[in-house]
Amino acid sequence: MAARLNVNIDHVATIREARKTIEPSIITAAVICEQAGANGITVHLRQDRRHIQDRDIELLRDVVTTYLNVEMAATDEMVSIALRTKPDAVSLVPESPNEITTEGGLDVIANFEMVKKAVESLRAQEIFVSIFIDPDLEQISAAQGVGAQQVELCTAEYAELTLSSRAAHGEGAQKAAAEVSRIAAAAAHARSLGMLVAAGHGLTYRNVGALAAIPEIEEFNIGHNIISRSVFVGLDQAVREMIEAIAT
């Protein structure tokens, strides 16, 4: 069975916040994604509120009928918002104020107690917990140690390697293939520890196929590429094309 697709709609809110106005509506975006066949909606409530706002989470919780996954830092403030709004899943991510986007996986080993506390609070309220993590075996074992039910493998490095045309042949292709193998080994390790496996960051219509072939990866979280394409072909079609890219 093909992996599930959660569409990350943060950048619909990025456009809205560029003018601090009411459009485009992320509620409309979520409904269109669901109607196009997405399995879930993902949003990242950042501490600086640069795109998604607290009110968006409340509204999405009422509207999303598939699966609402909220990415957040493992802070007390964020955890209390999750406990109040009860998304289906929380994905714990690292955050630094000046980053353009999430820069890599959460260092669970270095932040073990803080992350464990967040996971315990969320799971006590039956919120499914995923941790965004580099494809590193020790970090994955630590994610199991803090009680996460899923790891989302960070595909940023793979995405970077596949961006240029050099990735199509020679050394570039070898590096990309080696990174796919690293992700596959990480996915197998997470499954062997009893966790579910997701993947995301920087994935596109062109590069998702190699990862969709890894059987342990059951879920993708993809945003920027889908929202970018939707500018030209519409959101419904952009989502359908990504579902097709994952399935083939």
Q: Which of 44, 51, 152, 219 is catalytic?
A: 44
CB of 14 to ligand PXP, least distance (A): 10
CB of 79 to ligand PXP, least distance (A): 17
Q: Give the CA angle between residues 66, 70, 72 to the nearest 5°.
A: 170
Residue 56 has which token pair?
């968006």
Question: Which residues pair with residue 71 across a beta bridge?
Answer: 44, 91
189 a catalytic residue: no
Nearer to ligand PXP, 47 or 101 (CB): 101
Query: Which uninterrupted H or E stretch holds 77?
Result: helix 76-85
Instruction: Summarize as ranges the residues that interact with ligand PXP (CB under 6 A).
Output: 8, 10, 44, 71, 91, 93, 101-102, 132, 152, 200-203, 221-225
201 a catalytic residue: yes
224 a catalytic residue: no
CB of 49 to ligand PXP, least distance (A): 14
CB of 116 to ligand PXP, least distance (A): 19
Q: Which of 11, 34, 51, 71 is catalytic?
A: 71
Whether 78 contacts 70, CB under 8 Å: no
The CA distances from residue 56 to 10, 16, 85, 146, 206, in Å, are: 10, 12, 11, 29, 31
Nearer to ligand PXP, 77 or 171 (CB): 77
Nearer to ligand PXP, 34 or 134 (CB): 134
Q: Which of 11, 51, 189, 201 is catalytic?
A: 201
The CA distances from residue 81 to 5, 72, 184, in Å, are: 24, 10, 34
DSSP per-residue string spanning 175-200: HHHHHHHHHHHHHHHHHHTT-EEEEE
Bridge-based pairing state of the strands 217-222 and 150-154: unpaired
Catalytic residues: 44, 71, 201
